Amino acid sequence: MKNPFKHIFLCNRFFYAFGIVICVFVLSFPLPFLFPFALALLTLLLALTLVDAVLLFHPNIRIKARRNLPKVFSLGDENKINLSVENLSNQKLKIEVYDEIPFQFQMRDFHFSINLKSQEEKHLKYHLRPTIRGEYEFGNINLFLESILGLIQRRHIHDFPMSIPVYPSIIQMKQYELKAFKKVTSEQGIKKIRRLGHSYEFEQIKEYVRGDDYRSINWKASSRSGTLMVNQYEDERAQQVYCIIDKSRSMKLPFNDLSLLDHAINTSLVISNIALQKHDKAGLMTFSDKIGTTIKADRKANQLNQILTALYREKERPLEANYELLYRGVRNLVRGRSLILLYTNFESLYAAERVLPILRRISNLHLLVVVFFENTEILDFAQKDCDNTEDIYLQALAQKFIAEKRQIVHKLNQYGIQAVLTRPEELSVNTINKYLELKSRGLI
């Protein structure tokens, strides 16, 4: 250690003790008999400080610190970080742990205070919630050591730089991961969905049991076997499911510290995973004033990883979305009738009506589901109590915006376009249920 004085810091206990010594010196002016006592206290304090320094800078003082991170962070989720601190010296120490976390979190007073006996190890954990995709850099682990005297601190720096990427929410993807097959129960995904029909992919003929759909009775097989036999079907496989994300300026609105684009990116990863689990083909497309990422729907082994990497790199663009360009991109990329989940945002009925002709043209070719967002700030404001006339007028205006959103849904449904209007935090659940509902009805 080149300059040990750089790593020495005075503790509060030192200042309290020194303050007492000063008070005794001040009192020794009117009371001279206290002066020798004040000198003795000063000498004792300096001696204890010297002893404390010798204890802290003894060669036997050895501290080991480690930081354990996951391979990647999940966007918008609480990610756990583990710290372990081990006291390898032969004395008890009080340690303040300052971990240099990435600057994106703007947490400058984050630390732990622990007491470690000789040869004792403690495990600490904390959580970070990243709200921006990208690379995050962790710095050093700074340990401030105190002996039992507690007059000074010694800084012990562990050079422990680490970097970790923040990807779309893998935690959320695993949380909503569903079983790929539906054999016995009617429970699919997040909630039970009443099956309105069945698809036409034949699986097997089995004996009729109470509760089977009598419309599926196979009369020829029943006459041959002498007992009632029914046809059993399963969900059709290898259907194409495309997530198309609008990354124009309308998707930059922040909700719960995440932009609408980030909410859509997290949900696209979840839906792609579920589609692959259901043996469907998952694809991706992004657009704004120009076409961005395009990944053709497929079921190959690295398809989900390819989608995850593409979503990680996406960024908002400051211009309006070009829906004519979207239509041209869909015609070029998507071959065959497919389910298209379009994540966008309409803040007014006029904005939706302006692009409605293009959405109708896409809907003629594919099963189109338009997913857009409720403005939660307006919803919450509309539910507050009114205190004056101005609040009444403002709430009436808020109700008008809310009604326009409902009107957009009605307008889309009127032309045969499926629509999902959802709060940003409920986007994944509502989109999953819509996908499973369409699949259970045999529409894809």
Is the residue at 413 inside a domain? yes
How far, rounded to the nearest angstrom, does the alpha carbon of residue 26 sit from its chain's CA centroid? 60
Q: Based on the fold, state whether residues 139 and 221 are members of the same structural domain.
A: no
Specify if 110 maps to a domain. Answer: yes
> Of the ranges 40-44, 164-168, 196-200, 362-366, which one carries the lowest mean pLDDT score?
196-200
Tell me: the pLDDT tens digits for 295-327? 999 999 899 999 999 999 999 999 999 999 999
Is residue 280 scored above 50 in pLDDT?
yes
- From 234, 253, 276, the end of a domain falls on 234
Same domain, 248 and 209: no
Please indicate, yes or no, whether residues 212 and 277 belong to a single structural domain of this protein: no
The reply to whether the predicted model has a pTM over 0.75 is yes
Mean pLDDT confidence for 175-179: 69
pLDDT of residue 195: 47
In a domain, 36, yes or no: yes
Binned at pLDDT 50, 70 and 90, residue 263 comes out as very high
The CATH number for 4's domain is 2.60.40.10
What is the structure's pLDDT at 440?
Answer: 78
Count of domains forming the chain: 3
- My answer on whether 216 and 123 are in the same domain is no
In the sheet with 162-167, reading across from the earlier edge strand, the strands are 73-74, 162-167, 134-138
Q: Label residue 382 exposed, middle or buried (CB < 10 Å: 0-12, 13-18, 19+).
A: middle
Residues 409 and 296 in one domain: yes
- Confirm whether 38 is domain-assigned: yes
Task: Give the model confidence (pLDDT) of 9-59 as tens digits.
Answer: 899 999 999 999 999 999 999 988 889 999 999 999 999 999 998 988 888
% of the chain with per-residue pLDDT over 70 = 92
Answer yes or no: is pLDDT of 185 > 70: no
Q: Which pLDDT score, from 0 to 100, does residue 436 have?
A: 86
Query: Is the confidence at residue 168, as pLDDT, over 90?
Result: yes
Asked whether residue 336 falls in the same domain as residue 384, the answer is: yes
- Domain termination site, one of 167, 197, 221: 167
In this structure, the answer to whether residues 325 and 227 fall within a common structural domain is: no
Same domain, 287 and 421: yes
Q: Of 167, 189, 220, which residue sits at a domain end?
A: 167
Q: Indicate if 228 and 343 belong to the same structural domain.
A: no
Q: Any idea which of 80-89, 380-389, 404-413 has the lowest mean pLDDT? A: 380-389
Based on the fold, state whether residues 116 and 143 are members of the same structural domain: yes
pLDDT exceeds 50 at position 192 = no
Are residues 245 and 307 part of one domain? Answer: yes
Q: Are residues 68 and 163 in the same domain?
A: yes
Q: What is the pLDDT of residue 186?
A: 38
Does 181 fall in a domain?
A: no
Residue 197: inside a domain: no
Contacts of 171 (CB under 8 A, 6+ apart): 74, 77, 79
Q: Which of 199, 235, 202, 438 is nearest to 341 (CA)?
A: 438
**One-letter identity of residue 436:** L
> What's the domain range around 141?
1-167
Q: What is the pLDDT of residue 193?
A: 47
How many angstroms separate the CA atoms of 422 and 340, rounded?
17
- What does the alpha-carbon distance between residue 260 and residue 343 come to, in Å, rounded to a whole number? 9
Q: Residue 297: inside a domain, yes or no?
A: yes
